[in-house]
Amino acid sequence: MFTARRRVVASALILTGSLLLTSCGNSDSESSDGKTLTLWHYEGSDSAMGIAWNEAIKEFKATHPGVTVKFEAKGFEQIQKTASMVLNSSDAPDIMEYNKGNATAGLLSKQGLLTDLTAEATKRGWDKKLSAGVKTTSQYDSNGVMGSGKWYGVPNYAEYTMAFYNKDMFKKYGIAEPTTYDELTAAMDKFVAKGITPLANAGAEYMAQQYLYQLALSKADRTWVDKYELYKGKNDFHDAAWTYAANTFADWVKKGYIAKTSSGTKAEDAGVSWIQGKSPILFSGSWWYGRFESEAKFDWDSGLFPGSNLTLGSGGNLWVVPKGAKNKNLAYDFIDITMSKKIQNLLGNKGGVPVAADASAITDPKTKTLISNYNTLSSRDGLAFYPDWPVAGFYDTLVSETQKLITGSEKPDAYLDNLQKAYDKGVPQQ
Amino acid sequence: MTTALRRWPVLVALCIAALFMVLPFLIVLMNAIKSPAEYSQHGPLSMPHGLYLDGLKDFWQRVDYGQKLFNSVLISGSVAILAALLSILNAYAIGIGRIKGRTWVLAFFVLANMLPQEALVYPVYYLAKEVGLYDTRLSVIIVFTVIQAAFGTYLLSSVLGQFPREIIEAAKIDGATTWQVLWRIVVPVSRPTLGVLMVFFFIWTWNEFLLPLVMLISNDNQTVSVALGVLQGQRLMDATMTNAAALLGVLPALVFFLVFQRTLTRGIAVGAVK
């Protein structure tokens, strides 16, 4: 009886021992011999970026025989939560995708965790390929504030917001696709009269605040944006643009353009309600494009928000080279390949917004609209970033305050007061 | 007759409760075998029109699920065995050995158990980096062995505090050493409780997310629950694939539970009789 028990104990001990041995035998340190490129990104493998970057890796292998590429797909949240810890250790990759903005790439650059790319950017001509609005998120000053200073990242793509129109629904009710602001409100009135809520909205996430910011932008100019986003002057939430935005937004809810019940919905719900043909108009970003193209079963079109020179948008996420990267030259070579015409054109044809593509090489008709709209926008310097950027934690304030505006529990004036308070508290002292 | 009538409401209440428990799993299952287009067209609550297994297949290949499964079993298995071992050793000293100041020691263990893991992240990260264990599975095993053993010690100490002392005295009179008392008497008698503890340790460690997320950087070292996080995009979510992943993530723990279900009920029943 005892021997049987002993055997069980012994085998348990052996099992544990061998488990422990295998668990520590995995410390293959990255070599710095210029023979491996460790690369991390968090784009889905079938998204425009995922496809283009996969091709870039192939291209890199072809031009760098003998170099192995160690690619690891990461989750967005994992990179967000652990970036500063990883970059501070010896396990940092050679190149990785990272979120642009003051609170993310700016913060890491301030902590000295990123490599200064200024020399490479001028030498390899990346600075010439990017337009002014896109470049803003690549450069950070010594306080980690974007817009000026050294280069710490290079984006391969841009993003911007637009109105997506369900053409079938417009046709069914005999309504013309709007090209001016007045036509837009007229069209929405007609939909409301037919008992349809014209705008898909998500109050629990970024969508509602983007409607609001877009309305403010339609009354604003570049200096206004610089004031709000880059702290060039004092931002007043009771100025003409913000007041117009808050009042108009509240008015839109009252008129039924935006459903009161949308205060608690997620962006996914809004996107799905547009795909299902429940709401004819969705105002959101180019990140939906690929999905709509493959899943929308009706005829649709997209256009810039009517009556506004500026719209939300920016350069996409950045390629950054960690300070502790062991093969920096390989990383620079890889960035250079992703900026080449071939990869950029591929990115465009797959539904992304390339920053340095040949407009003539884009063959897909839907994507052509996407890119020509982007070109219009970038030629008039129309990228105005996102409302939650200036202050850390402002996103949550905007979501909860805008929800109150949707439900009508807060008047536009009080809404602007609260935004001002949160903004002033969080804005960095210059 | 009257008792049967009285039981009716209880039965109905239990059925409703069971339905609520099972419903989320059903929704996960339904959406895991839907195609993305179908999901977008008809929403999450519609019945799937056909069997679409690409989501499961894609996810398996994308994250190299076999490797993740191995890592999770390795980590959870080691933690379950080591933490149970550590717990019984501690509890033997506290519950049967009745060391001085045992109330304070127990209070300390409870406190350690209540500490939120977010508070542990940075200290553990720095320590692991100092000793060169950052990004190894061993680091996670050590951390969770300690965390789980804190709870195990607390529980086992109170169980062993009630241990019939006559048995121990008898063994001592027969000339058994302290060590022999532990392995020949205490451990065999409290085996059901130990079994339950190990099952719990395994499942709890399996479901851990934050510390593995922070400590296991390379994809080769990651666990199942961290791999599920790969699908959470910045702005978009792939609902069907997330469901497929959730299904794959929950299955092993479910299988483990079914296999050890008898151990569990036995352990709980032993406690009830005493």
Q: Identify which of B81, B220, B234 has the shortest CB distance to residue A16.
A: B81
Collect all residues from A whose CB is shorter than 8 A from any CB in B.
Answer: 5, 12, 15-16, 19-20, 22-24, 26-27, 42-45, 72-78, 81-82, 85-86, 88-89, 91, 99, 206, 267-268, 272, 275-276, 285, 287-288, 291, 294-295, 297, 317
The residue among B20, B55, B41 whose CA lies nearest residue B242 is B55
Work out the end-to-end distance of chain A between its first and last CA atoms, rounded to an integer number of angstroms: 78
Q: Would you call A19 and B232 a contact, using CB atoms and an 8 Å cutoff? A: no
Both A186 and A146 in a single domain? no
Reduced to 3 states (helix: H, G, I; strand: E, B; else coil), residue B8 is helix
Reduced to 3 states (helix: H, G, I; strand: E, B; else coil), residue B182 is helix
CATH code where residue A274 lies = 3.40.190.10
Per-residue pLDDT, averaged over A160-189, amounts to: 94
Both A118 and A240 in a single domain? no
The residue among A358, A318, A8, A398 whose CA lies nearest residue A157 is A318
Distance CA B39, CA B27 (A): 12
State residue A29's pLDDT score: 44
Domain that holds residue A214: 159-313+384-426
Q: Which residues of B touch A267 (CB under 8 A)?
A: 235
Reduced to 3 states (helix: H, G, I; strand: E, B; else coil), residue A204 is coil
- pLDDT at A298 > cutoff 50: yes
Distance CA A40, CA A48 (A): 16
Burial of A139 (0-12, 13-18, 19+ CB in 10 A): buried
State residue A18's pLDDT score: 58
Could you read off the pLDDT of A218-272 as tens digits, one per residue? Answer: 999 999 999 999 999 899 999 999 999 999 999 999 999 999 999 999 998 899 9
Single pTM value for the model: 0.82
To the nearest whole Å, the CA of B192 is away from the closest chain A CA by 15
To the nearest whole Å, the CA of A384 is away from the closest chain B CA by 19
Torsion angles phi and psi, residue A141, rounded to 5? -85, -175
State residue A406's pLDDT score: 95
Higher pLDDT residue, A298 or A8?
Answer: A298
Both A228 and A203 in a single domain? yes
Burial of A344 (0-12, 13-18, 19+ CB in 10 A): buried
Both A248 and A329 in a single domain? no
Q: Looking at the domain assignment, is residue A1 inside a domain?
A: no
Q: Which residues of B touch A86 (CB under 8 A)?
A: 217
Cα separation values, A337 from A165, A316, A317, Å = 35, 17, 16
- pLDDT at A326 > cutoff 60: yes
Q: Which residues of B touch A44 (CB under 8 A)?
A: 233, 236, 238
DSSP-derived letter for residue A312 is S
Nearest residue of B to residue A92 by CA position?
A: B217
To the nearest whole Å, the CA of A72 is away from the closest chain B CA by 6
* DSSP structure string for A374-423: HHHHHHTT-B-B-TTSSSTTHHHHHHHHHHHHHHTSS-HHHHHHHHHHHH
| Residue with token string 């959870």 | B76
Give residues 139 to 158 of B whose Cβ lies within 8 Å of A.
141
pLDDT along chain B (274 residues), means of 10: 76 92 88 85 81 85 89 94 95 89 88 85 91 93 94 91 89 90 90 89 90 90 86 75 86 82 68 44
Give residues 26 to 65 of B whose Cβ lies within 8 Å of A.
36-37, 39-43, 62-63
Per-residue pLDDT, averaged over A79-98, amounts to: 91
Distance CA A256, CA A162 (A): 21
Q: Are strands A68-73 and A36-41 parallel, antiparallel or unpaired?
A: parallel
Burial of B36 (0-12, 13-18, 19+ CB in 10 A): middle
Copy the structure tokens of residue A127: 């600075």
Q: Looking at the domain assignment, is residue A19 inside a domain?
A: no
pLDDT band at A25 (very low <50, low <70, confident <90, very high): very low
To the nearest whole Å, the CA of A346 is away from the closest chain B CA by 21
The residue among A313, A303, A54, A25 whose CA lies nearest residue A158 is A313
| Residue with token string 């390379």 | B218
Q: Would you call B236 and A20 a contact, using CB atoms and an 8 Å cutoff? A: no
Q: Would you call A23 and B233 a contact, using CB atoms and an 8 Å cutoff? A: no
Q: Are strands A199-200 and A281-285 parallel, antiparallel or unpaired?
A: parallel
State residue A27's pLDDT score: 41
Query: Is A215:A390 a contact under the CB 8 Å cutoff?
Result: no
* Spatial CB neighbours of A406, under 8 Å, sequence gap ≥ 6: A201, A203, A208, A253, A258, A260, A262, A263
The residue among B12, B41, B69 whose CA lies nearest residue B239 is B41
Q: Looking at the domain assignment, is residue A250 inside a domain?
A: yes
Average pLDDT, rounded, for chain A = 89
Q: Which residues of B touch A74 (CB under 8 A)?
A: 219, 230
Extents of the domains making up chain B: 65-230
Q: Looking at the domain assignment, is residue A235 inside a domain?
A: yes
Could you read off the pLDDT of B196-254 as tens digits, one per residue? Answer: 899 889 989 998 988 999 999 888 999 988 888 777 777 777 788 888 888 888 888 78
Q: Looking at the domain assignment, is residue A165 inside a domain?
A: yes
For residue A285, give the H/E element and its range.
strand A281-285
* Spatial CB neighbours of A64, under 8 Å, sequence gap ≥ 6: A37, A330, A333
Domain B65-230 has CATH 1.10.3720.10: yes
Most A CBs within 10 A among B234, B237, B241, B243, hence the mutation to make, goes to B234
* Spatial CB neighbours of A207, under 8 Å, sequence gap ≥ 6: A200, A201, A267, A270, A283, A284
Q: Identify which of B74, B136, B219 has the shortest CB distance to residue A72.
A: B219
- Number of domains observed in the structure of chain A: 2
A128 — alpha (psi -120 to 50), left (phi > 0) or beta? alpha
Copy the structure tokens of residue A42: 């968090």
Both A389 and A324 in a single domain? no
Buried b / exposed e over A157-180, threshold 16 CB at 10 Å, is: bbbbbbbbbbeebbeeeebebbee
